[in-house]
Structure 1
Amino acid sequence: MRATFGKKEKLKSKKELELLFSEGKTIANYPIRLIYRKVTLKKEVQVQAGVSVSKRNFKKAVDRNRIKRLLRESYRKNKYIVLNNTTHHFAFMFLYTGKEMPDYKLIEAKTKEVIQKFITKEIKTP
């Protein structure tokens, strides 16, 4: 399996985003929150993911974009955890809720923990 984050894996549908925020379940591990929902996707993609950073906490677009790049990279490197442990299709949204500029080590560690919590909560429990 290749560790890529291609166009088909990105969550872009406005309808799906609205459903995700209204009906999705949440797992939090400060400063990252994961909102997820079981969906029906095409067979070639198992998980679609998006990232978001609050404009309220980070006024400069440069800072928001930097954090979003870090979030996407940490998901890209660790998505194998989800793909190896599930056969269902999901939509993910990673939100950065912290107020200070993070470094990559923190983002990657917290993303891994959130994904592990997701696996134990949603997939391991019947």
Structure 2
Amino acid sequence: MEQQRFTFRKNERLCSRTTIQELFTKGRSFVKYPFRVSYLPVESSDDVPIQLLISVSKKRFKRANKRNRVKRLVREAYRVNKLDAYSQLKDTNVHLAVAFVYLPSELLDFASVQKGVKKALKKLTDEVRKNEEKE
């Protein structure tokens, strides 16, 4: 049996400015507390089904160390829970650009963030599958 690796590599991160701009202008979004999730189907040459952007508001967290802490928590929760979403999206052969925007103005513990990431990924895969069935 093949060992699954829980990694978050460079090609899984959303870095392209044009793709990010398109994601926020043309993409669809929903709220699953503590995140607002925006997503957009994209053409991708990579073999990863999801490219992720994590954003934390400077208005809500003035200090950079707190923003970085939130981003680390979200990245870790995503890294551990992404394989279920990957397996469901591999079937549909869809590549997504996804942004997780952290909404609360207080720092949540890892368990709460992880629970939120799981719910957000579940809703994301459900919406993508629903949109695929329509087409």
TM tier relative to shorter chain = over 0.9
CA distance, structure 1, for counterparts of residue 101 and residue 129 of structure 2: 21
Higher-Rg structure is 2
- In angstroms, what is the RMSD of aligned CA positions? 1.1
3-state DSSP of counterpart to 1:48: strand
TM-score, length basis structure 1: 0.94
CA distance, structure 2, for counterparts of residue 14 and residue 120 of structure 1: 27
TM-score, length basis structure 2: 0.88
In the alignment, what sits opposite 1:66?
Answer: 69
In the alignment, what sits opposite 1:28?
Answer: 31
**Does residue 16 of structure 2 align to residue 13 of structure 1?**
yes
**Does residue 125 of structure 2 align to residue 119 of structure 1?**
yes
Q: Which runs of 4+ in 1 moved over 4 A?
A: none
CA distance, structure 2, for counterparts of residue 29 and residue 21 of structure 1: 17
**Aligned residue-pair number:** 126
Query: Shift of residue 65 of structure 1?
Result: 0.2
**Does residue 110 of structure 2 align to residue 104 of structure 1?**
yes
In the alignment, what sits opposite 2:48?
Answer: 45
Flag structure 1 segments of 5+ consecutive residues without an equivalent. none
Flag structure 2 segments of 5+ consecutive residues without an equivalent. none
